[in-house]
Structure 1
Amino acid sequence: MQIKFIYIILIELLEYAGHVQGVLLVFVDFLKTFIEKTQSIVNYAFERLPYNALNGLIIYMIIVFFVVLAFLLPSILFSKLYLSYLKRKTELLHRKYSKIIVRFLIDDLSEKELSDLKNVKSKFHRKILTAVLISIDTAESKLVSSEIRKLYLDMKLNEDSVRKLSKGWHHKIRGIRELSHMRVKSENKNIMEFLKRPNEILRIESQMGLIKLLPFVPFAFLDSQEKPFTVWEQINVFDLIRKKRIEIPEFHLWLDHWNDSVVMFCLDMIRVLKQREAAPKVMELLYHDNDLVKGKAIKTLVDLESEEAVVKLKKLFLLEELPNQINIIRSIGQLRLESEMNFLIENINNEEFKIRMECCKSLALVGVPGIVKLQSLSENGDEELKRIISHVLDPRI
């Protein structure tokens, strides 16, 4: 059986090679000429050069190099031919199985054809079948998805996917994608273990897979997130949320997480998704040990437009770094809090130019009372303050 298979491959290769027969003939002619020239050069070298150990070693190394080259070139050519054959074979099988699967979906497949399909044993064919099933399943129709998943399980293709989880990382990724797409949850525990791996790509695929496999608790993986939750991972998770319309959880549930990168991700999600009910929990982070978390919490409270938070932020103003101070001042303008105008006026003469600018901007945003106050301050202010107020009140801006 094996000899027959090898014979078939050779026939296919010869048929393909027939298309490049002219190129092969030119190559053989070139190789023949090349060998003759090399032989004449070697003979000349042995005849003309004075013999010593170094010259002999150099000549023999050159001979070995050309012998290796003579074997290497055909190997490269054969591998190119084989890869071309494999690509052509894959395309043909993909088209063949696509037609069969479509016929299966419209119930146009005979019992014998269905039986033959389910009894496919070749690993290569089964790999292509899995790819075809996933490509056809667009998840637009629940009925189609259900039928494809049933066929996937009937053919025991899930067992092939599970076996990939015990191989190299690139095989693991393929296995996770297949199992998550077909909603096979038997390996959820193993996939969660991959979250601890140092390979960032594997961790991202594990997170994506678990979100699909755990539709009712899609962010359960955050509980066991030990590695830093990188920006790239966060972007991928958010993109999946946006595309798959996954049920959004209450992200304040993870604000007590020991992993600061998870906390900052949840703060971003609270801010972007406008989860205003999370404001009290976010305010607890204003005293966090990590300045990055504290800064993110202030920014989140500003974007959530929490008036209660502004009162607490004012108390922290003098203790904060410049970026956080600017965010605190900006929050008053965004909320148009006329009651906090005195706080802005107190800081309008600050030595820091950026703080002065933000105080003026926030006063202007408060409305008519703020604009009137700015005009009054402009009359008695220093030259820098006058320029800032003139800029802020410029109707062209």
Structure 2
Amino acid sequence: MDSIFHRVTIHELIIAIVVVLSLVFLLIMLVLLYSFYKYKVLYQRQIWLQESEQKVIQAIVSGEEISRVDEEFITRLRNPSFRNVFLSVLVASDQKFSGGARNEVNNLFKIYKMEDAAWQKLRQRKSYLVAGGILELAVMRVERAFPDIASLLEHPKRQVYQEAQYAVVSFKGFDGLDFLNTLVVPLSDWQQLRLLRSIGKLPAAHEEWVKNWLSSSNESVIIFTLRLIRKFQLLPFYADVINLFDHTAVNVKVQAIRTIAALENDETVNQLIAAFFTQPIEAQIEILRALKKSRSPQSESFLQQQLWHHPAISIKIAAAEVLIALKQHGYLQRIATDETVPEEIKQVIKHALQEKT
């Protein structure tokens, strides 16, 4: 009886091992098949990418003679995957080139009716597709798409409304920034840089808008406006920026200090020093950076005071670095070798001198 039971157990064990090995083999095969499929997809995409780039290069080099309708290429474009690759190459090329080359890229967009594909994306539910459609229509300057794109500024998905923001500014320039008047969601740093890059000039009647944005309840709108003031050197807003030193948000204070440093005049150094004592550490460090950039000898006494008496090590180090920028190496070296000077200050100076070296 024990022998029969023993034989049955071994039999079952063998069956279990075979099943497990079969499953492992099946899993390995599935992984290999999936990897092969992904490889084919990537390989095919690479081929499509090269073909699309070649089509763009031919159009740019040879002009309209090559840009006329290629029936074989139209047949290839019936494949949605190939069409999306070609569309992405057109968008990337349009952003890369300018002048006549850019016009030829835009001609390809029209000749092969890529606008239809972009419109289809705009009507999809997936946010990444909608955002892609917005970008494509904006980059290819399809003006009649503006109302549809503008309606997406209030879209609940971040990817969509950010692309819509960028698109309306691409279409309308500075005037496209009117959405900032009612914007409640944050404007990311990357989005701010994109928008700034899209604005080439300011209209004559920009002052009222800029002043309004500087008093916005949305901190990111204020920060964007400060960057706009820096980019275009809007000197008339100097006093308004100074007033932002009293803003409750540290990030706004820091950006206001950077902007004042960019708009520097004869009073800037004194104003920065006067504001220093009421600022948080982050803003104080930014003020010291501004003084370092200014390299004004009138700040030497103030900097020495911070080196000796400020309670924060980070401020002491920053003050010492500014003194180095003001060619005060001798003063710092004398302190570093004075036996009566506290060890903490000596270490700060040595650190600053080493950083400079």
Give the direction of change, closer, same or farther, for the CA distance of 1:128–1:364 in structure 2 (3 Å limit). closer
Matched, 1:160 2:117: yes
Instruction: Output the CA distance in 2 between the equivalents of 1:275 and 1:210.
Output: 23
Moved more, 160-169 or 340-349: 340-349
What amino acid is the match of 1:257?
Answer: S
For residue 281 of structure 1, the aligned residue among 221, 225, 240 is 240
Distance verdict in 2 for CA 1:387–1:330, change over 3 Å: same
1:212 maps to 170
- 1:318-357 correspondence to structure 2 within 5 Å: 318-328=277-287, 331=290, 335=294, 349-352=308-311
- 1:212 aligned partner, one-letter code: S
Deviates more, 1:158-167 or 1:305-314: 305-314
Distance 1:384 1:300, change over 3 A: farther
Given that 2:250 and 2:282 are in contact with CA atoms closer than 8 Å, whether structure 1 keeps it comes out as no
Seen in structure 2, the aligned counterparts of structure 1 residues 338 and 170 have a Cα distance that, compared at 3 Å, is closer
> Aligned-pair distance for 1:350?
1.9
- Distance of 1:390 and 1:109 partners within structure 2: 66
CA distance in 2, matches of 1:142, 1:338: 48
1:259 aligned partner: 218
- The secondary structure found in structure 2 opposite 1:209 is helix
5+ residue gaps, structure 1? 1-46
Match of 2:99 in 1: 142
User: Structure 2 counterpart of 1:247, which letter?
Assistant: G
Partner of 1:301: 260
Q: Distance in 2 between matches of 1:372 and 1:66?
A: 74
Name the SS for the 2:223 alignment partner.
helix
Q: Equivalent residue for 1:8?
A: none
Between the aligned partners of 2:233 and 2:247, the Cα distance in structure 1 is: 22
Aligned residue pairs, count: 340
**Equivalent in the alignment of 2:141:** 183
Cα distance, 1:288 vs structure 2: 1.3
Conserved in 2, the CA contact under 8 Å of 1:196 and 1:226?
no
Change (3 A) 1:62 1:181: same
Amino acid in the other structure paired with 1:107? E
Identity of aligned residues (%): 21
Matched letter for residue 120 of structure 2? R
* 1:170 to 2:123 alignment: no
SS of corresponding position for 1:107: helix
Output the CA distance in 1 between the equivalents of 2:278 and 2:39: 70
Determine helix, strand or coil for the equivalent of 1:163. helix
Deviation at 1:329, TM superposition (A): 5.6
Contact 1:252/1:282 (<8 A) preserved: no
Kept in 1, the 8 Å contact 2:60–2:104? The answer is no
Q: Name the TM-score, length of structure 2 as normaliser.
A: 0.64
C-alpha distance in structure 2 between counterparts of 1:332 and 1:172, whole Å = 47
2:249 counterpart residue number: 290
Deviation at 1:128? 5.7
Larger displacement relative to structure 2 (320-329 or 81-90): 81-90
What are the ranges of 5 or more consecutive residues in structure 2 without an aligned counterpart? Answer: 1-5
- Residue matched to 2:3: none
Rg larger in structure: 1
Separation (CA, whole Å) in 1 of partners of 2:94 and 2:179:
26
SS of aligned partner of 1:122? coil
Q: Deviations over 1:97-137 (max 9, x none)?
A: 66985798343688xx5689789983536546545654665
Residue 184 of structure 2: aligned partner: 226
Instruction: Supply the distance in 2 between the matched residues of 1:347 and 1:70 (Cα, whole angstroms).
Output: 67
Residues 35-46 of structure 1 aligned to structure 2 (within 5 Å):
none
1:122 is the counterpart of 2:78: yes
The 1:256/1:78 distance shift into structure 2, 3 A limit, reads same
Amino acid at match of 2:145: E
